[in-house]
Amino acid sequence: MRNREYLRACAEGIEEMGREEAAYWLGMAMHRKYPRRVLMALRFLLIDPKS
């Protein structure tokens, strides 16, 4: 990810997550065959497309 605004939005979104939700996403990213798909889904959820 190269856009600093998107990077900031993802970091803030992860900080706002509860412990269980953050652990879910971490587990998905670490234990999947294709972790890039999981990370892309997380980015889609955290980044506002209008900004």
Report the pLDDT value the prediction gives residue 23, as an integer from 0 to 100.
94
Largest CA distance in the chain: 32
Domain, as residue range, for 26: 4-46
Identify whether 51 is part of a domain.
no
Give residue 51's pLDDT.
61
Joined together, the tokens standing for residue 43 give 């980015």
**Amino acid type, 8:** R
Along the 51 residues of the chain, how does pLDDT read in single tens digits? Answer: 788 998 999 999 999 999 999 999 999 999 988 889 999 999 999 987 776
The answer to whether 28 and 38 have CB atoms below 8 angstroms apart is: yes
* Residue 29 covered by a domain: yes
Total structural domains in the chain? 1
Whether residue 11 lies inside any domain: the answer is yes
First to last CA, the chain: 15
DSSP state of 33: S
Instruction: Evaluate whether 46 touches 10 at the Cβ level (below 8 Å).
Output: yes
